[in-house]
Amino acid sequence: MCKMAHFRNCDPGTADQEYCIFHKPNKSEEEAREFYNKFVLEFFGYKLPWNKGWVFAEEIDAGGFVFPEYRDMNFSYSHFKKPAKFTDATFENDADFTGATFEDNADFSGAVFNKDAKFDNSKFNGEVYFGWSSALFTNPRRLLSQI
């Protein structure tokens, strides 16, 4: 059983392992690709020809997810139509939300940003939580200049 099962958002196909693919730290290149594909399928992300980023029509609960260093894993210019929860998530690479639009609440409380957190020109139409006492940033000055 996944050690992070308490988040209640494990990948059913790998939940019987020590860590499911969503919560597994230090993913290999193959595991990172699997994570990416399953993340997009799980949250029904899609791209439109006229939009640079992903569109997520449903709520995202990525609590505790470990986002790997993977070339296609960024959220720049994405559109989050429902609440987006990234509580206690770890971003091993840059967390790129440049130009993203959050129509509802966005929660990054307890998130760990191992590299840059990029929110340039992002729009937050709901409330946004970073939980300043619990989130970890490698470059907080850069983040604060953006929001």
| pLDDT tens-digit map of 43-57 | 776 666 556 788 899
How confident is the prediction for the chain on average, in pLDDT?
Answer: 86
- Give the pLDDT of residue 137: 56
- Give the pLDDT of residue 50: 55
Q: Which pTM does this prediction carry?
A: 0.83
Residue 101 phi, psi (nearest 5): -120, 125
Structural domain spans, the chain: 22-144
Burial of 1 (C-beta count, 10 Å sphere; 0-12/13-18/19+): exposed
| pLDDT tens-digit map of 62-117 | 999 999 988 767 899 999 999 999 999 999 988 999 999 999 999 999 999 888 88
